[in-house]
A and B are shown apart, each in its own frame.
Chain A
Amino acid sequence: MANTDLFHIRTEEAPRLPAPISTTGVIGWMRQNLFSSVGNTVLTVIGILIAYSLIEPLIKFALIDAVWSGSNREACLPQDGGHGGACWAYVEAFFPQFIYGRYPSEEIWRVNIVYFLFAALLVPLAMPSAPFKKLNAILFLVVFPIVSYYLLTGLVFGDWVILPIVETAVWGGLLVTLVIAVTGIVASLPLGIALALGRRSKMPIIKLVSIIFIEFWRGVPLITVLFMSSVMLPLFLPEGVTFDKLLRVLIGVTLFSAAYMAEVVRGGLQAIPKGQYEGAMALGLRFWPMMYLIILPQALKLVIPGIVNTFIGLFKDTTLVLIVGMYDLLGMIQSSFTDPTWSTPSTGHTGYLFAALVFWTFCFGMSRYSIFMERKLHTGHKR
């Protein structure tokens, strides 16, 4: 008894126990994030039910019940009188039309070159780490438009046909969507910069004109602008002068997006500290060299995310041209619904699903890029 130690000193550290199972791992995470309270549990269950009720029919329609191949509507007609799944065979059959419109099939290589050049020039331009930015920008903004203009419309010197003329009336699908969106954004950039500078100008008339212009185009819906360019613009021109329909739409879209662009650029200009202006003036720079060398490079860098967002908006808005009778991607898809060889109850759903997929991929990708740039520029600015 006497020898018994009445005290105990632990000389070794007790083995570390893992955290209780209810706070770590999947279960812990679920407890914390899904079932932390009764209300939360109810919300989780409701959320899962909503998600299931939306995703299950979509997967069933788009994948499980879908028809992947076939040569006409017979393949996609539902067997048992039900609604049937997506008819991807129809998308496959119309795919060239969705991408090129009714561009003559022997000339499609010209569109492909334009697509290729577009991607080859845009990707390095969009990557902040790629070299030769200035050359790249000149190629993309100046050379590319000229080259693709002649590639797409054709090149003829008198009787010497290098590239046969392809009228814009047969253009369609993704080609028209991209032409309108890209031209709209590229052409509206200089106009938007000019308007933004005008709006911040100290000269009252220039300021007033810029404000009226910007607020006018921002105040009216795009569809009325399109109606205006397709119905009213011809009346403004002298007798005998006519514009191509696509060009008329492009003018309308450019003026419209220039107003939005001006506001984006103005935001960038406002973010430039006054010291930059004063520093430039102190160096003896005049207005345009100051803008060109000091202010705009900084301001435009800042507004890249804004420009991308404007582009996303414009890209989505190009679908409106179908209302004035042009065949952009959505217009082409919609007009394919009425092709008797492929009309089934699920054709319409499939077409809309395909259109949604294409537009979503483009827009989501661009919005991710915009966020990426925003983060990058943000850290750069903070130093």
Chain B
Amino acid sequence: MSVMEQDSAGAPARASLLNDPKVRGIFYQIVLVVAITALGYVIVTNTIANLERQNIASGWSFLENTAGFGTNQSLVSYSETSTYGRAIFVGFLNTLLVAAVGIFFATVIGFIIGIARLSNNWVINRLAYCYVELVRNIPLLLQIFFWYFAVLRSIPGKREKWSLFDTFHLNIGGLRLPKPIMGTGSEWVGYAFLIGIAIAIFVARWARKRQEATGQPFPAFLTGVGLIIGLPILTYFVMGMPIGLEFPNFVETGPILRQGFELNVGLNIIPEFLALTAALSIYTASFIAEIVRAGIQAVSHGQTEAAHALGLRNGPTLRLVVIPQAMRVIIPPLTSQYLNLTKNSSLAVAIAYPDLVSMGGTVLNQTGQAIEIIGIWMAVYLSLSLITSAFMNWYNQRMALVER
């Protein structure tokens, strides 16, 4: 102890101030701060000077101006008379929509392919391998173009259709489905759905507790499914069937432009959305498949053997032993794939899907306010990614607690 003290006390005398790591550290940091401030100052003054010299408008007031352009998909009411701000909001919702749907399909396909990669069946195994190696080594943009331009040429034109059960119709104008019309009281069906989920979660918890306490199993899963599906259906009939269906209307007579599917009747999923979703989910699925495979392989074989020795069949082994452990490995890279998919959805701009970047780009063109628009883009994507990282940290912490 005394030696240490002596040492540190003697140190300043021997080493000059220049060689003190602490001083140097502070010096480096000051240099960095000065450099960044200077760079920021130069950029800001240049930008202000450029904007003033070129007489370019700046500020956020443009968001209140009338947009004047239309769009082919909006989740909230939008027309040409809406504001620029509204247009960007429509784009934002479209981004969320394509990301959500893409994530759903990517997960489903990815898990199927990932498990198929581990199959004992040679054909299935090789097929999955080829899928992964083919899809992830081709640029996403090329795949989007393929799905949009090449596949588009192969499906029927505007005045023809492919139909399934006379309910789903596909042609170059998109996929037409019956559209639910919400009558009065239909909101109760939605509430019933939410209540069903809540009760199902409650039941599942209760069942687990009881099983832990008494060892008696309870079919919580089936009960949950029954509640989530059954409760809304029950409400639907109790409320006097308030939800109707509006079927797409295929016109075969009259002026040629009016032939084909009538605009705004039934639900139309535009081909841009279909192509983008297909490309995004198939591309991301190839990465998810590898994550799933690695995750399952990370669970040591002894776990499976032990589970079998305990008398568990294949199904319960997977569900109760392998998957819970694999998920711990799978979830973190999976979330970053979800984030990648969301960011990649910005490629929509190449095929006229009105997402955030596409709508924002149009506003940028009309107003010329590059800085504001690009600022909005970056802010939105950054917050999405920060939210995801926050979730990931939370999940990792939770998982770490489970570990003993």
Shortest CB-to-CB span from B274 to chain A, Å, is 18
9 pairs of A and B residues whose beta carbons are closest in the complex: A219-B385, A363-B137, A47-B123, A221-B343, A316-B139, A33-B122, A205-B29, A221-B346, A319-B141
Number of residues of chain A lying within 8 A (CB) of chain B: 55
A150 contacts the other chain (CB 8 A): no
Cβ-defined partner of A359 (8 Å) among B43, B137, B344, B385 = B137
Q: Please state if A236 and B25 are interface contacts (CB–CB under 8 Å).
A: no
Question: What DSSP secondary structure best describes chain B's contact surface?
Answer: helix
Which residues of chain B are near A322, meaning CB under 8 Å?
A: 141, 350
Q: How far is the CA of A367 from the CA of B142 in the complex (A)?
A: 19
Q: How far is the CA of A237 from the CA of B139 in the complex (A)?
A: 33
B386 contacts the other chain (CB 8 A): yes
Report B99-133 CB contacts with A as 1/0, cut-off 8 Å: 00000000000000000000111111001000001
Which residues of chain A are near B29, meaning CB under 8 Å?
A: 203-206
Shortest CB-to-CB span from B289 to chain A, Å, is 15
List CB contacts (< 8 Å) of B380-400 with chain A: 381-382, 384-386, 389
Q: How many A-B residue pairs have CB under 8 A?
A: 153
Q: Please state if B53 and A360 are interface contacts (CB–CB under 8 Å).
A: no
Q: Please state if A219 and B382 are interface contacts (CB–CB under 8 Å).
A: yes
Q: Please state if A231 and B364 are interface contacts (CB–CB under 8 Å).
A: yes
List CB contacts (< 8 Å) of B352-380 with chain A: 357, 361, 364, 370-371, 374, 377-378
Which residues of chain A are near B50, meaning CB under 8 Å?
A: 234-235, 237, 239
Given A47-B121, A47-B127, A51-B127, A352-B142 contact (CB < 8 Å):
yes
Q: Please state if A219 and B381 are interface contacts (CB–CB under 8 Å).
A: yes
Given A220-B377, A237-B46, A239-B49, A363-B121 contact (CB < 8 Å):
no
Shortest CB-to-CB span from A258 to chain B, Å, is 16
List CB contacts (< 8 Å) of B13-32 with chain A: 25, 28-29, 32
A94 contacts the other chain (CB 8 A): no
B76 contacts the other chain (CB 8 A): no
Q: Please state if A364 and B374 are interface contacts (CB–CB under 8 Å).
A: no
Q: How far is the CA of A113 from the CA of B115 in the complex (A)?
A: 47
Range of interface residues on chain B? 35 or more
A147 contacts the other chain (CB 8 A): no
Q: Please state if A231 and B142 are interface contacts (CB–CB under 8 Å).
A: no
Q: Please state if B149 and A43 are interface contacts (CB–CB under 8 Å).
A: no
Shortest CB-to-CB span from A72 to chain B, Å, is 21
Q: Please state if A224 and B374 are interface contacts (CB–CB under 8 Å).
A: yes
Q: Please state if A205 and B344 are interface contacts (CB–CB under 8 Å).
A: no
Shortest CB-to-CB span from A327 to chain B, Å, is 14
B145 contacts the other chain (CB 8 A): yes
Q: How far is the CA of A363 from the CA of B42 in the complex (A)?
A: 40
Most buried by A among B139, B378, B381: B139
Which residues of chain A are near B349, meaning CB under 8 Å?
A: 223, 323
Given A36-B120, A47-B127, A202-B25, A359-B46 contact (CB < 8 Å):
no
Cβ-defined partner of B149 (8 Å) among A202, A206, A348 = A348
Which residues of chain A are near B344, meaning CB under 8 Å?
A: 221
Shortest CB-to-CB span from B293 to chain A, Å, is 14
Which residues of B approach A to under 8 Å, CB–CB?
25, 28-29, 32-33, 36, 42-43, 46-47, 49-51, 53, 119-124, 127, 133-134, 136-142, 145-146, 149-150, 153, 343-344, 346-347, 349-350, 357, 361, 364, 370-371, 374, 377-378, 381-382, 384-386, 389
Shortest Cβ distance from A287 into B: residue = B21
In the assembled complex, 16 residue pairs joining A and B whose CB atoms fall closer than 8 Å, in A order, are A34-B121, A44-B124, A51-B123, A206-B32, A219-B381, A220-B378, A220-B385, A224-B346, A227-B361, A234-B50, A330-B141, A330-B142, A334-B145, A348-B153, A349-B153, A363-B138
List CB contacts (< 8 Å) of A203-223 with chain B: 203-206, 209, 215-216, 218-223
Which residues of chain B are near A352, meaning CB under 8 Å?
A: 142, 145-146, 149-150
Q: How far is the CA of A360 from the CA of B137 in the complex (A)?
A: 5
Which residues of chain B are near A44, meaning CB under 8 Å?
A: 121, 123-124
Shortest Cβ distance from A238 into B: residue = B46
Shortest CB-to-CB span from B226 to chain A, Å, is 28
A320 contacts the other chain (CB 8 A): yes
Which residues of chain A are near B53, meaning CB under 8 Å?
A: 239
A356 contacts the other chain (CB 8 A): yes
Q: Please state if B382 and A360 are interface contacts (CB–CB under 8 Å).
A: no
Q: How far is the CA of A206 from the CA of B33 in the complex (A)?
A: 9
Q: Please state if A209 and B32 are interface contacts (CB–CB under 8 Å).
A: yes
Which residues of chain B are near A356, meaning CB under 8 Å?
A: 138, 142, 146
Q: Please state if A235 and B47 are interface contacts (CB–CB under 8 Å).
A: yes
A345 contacts the other chain (CB 8 A): yes
A38 contacts the other chain (CB 8 A): no
Shortest Cβ distance from B54 into A: residue = A235
Q: Please state if A40 and B149 are interface contacts (CB–CB under 8 Å).
A: no
Q: Please state if A224 and B381 are interface contacts (CB–CB under 8 Å).
A: yes
Which residues of chain A are near B47, meaning CB under 8 Å?
A: 235-236
Q: Please state if A220 and B43 are interface contacts (CB–CB under 8 Å).
A: no
Apart from A43-B123, A349-B150, 10 more pairs, CB < 8 Å = A33-B121, A34-B121, A202-B25, A203-B25, A220-B381, A221-B346, A224-B378, A239-B53, A319-B140, A330-B141
Which residues of chain B are near A9, meaning CB under 8 Å?
A: none
Shortest Cβ distance from B45 into A: residue = A238
Given A33-B122, A236-B46, A205-B32 contact (CB < 8 Å):
yes
Which residues of chain A are near B386, meaning CB under 8 Å?
A: 215, 219
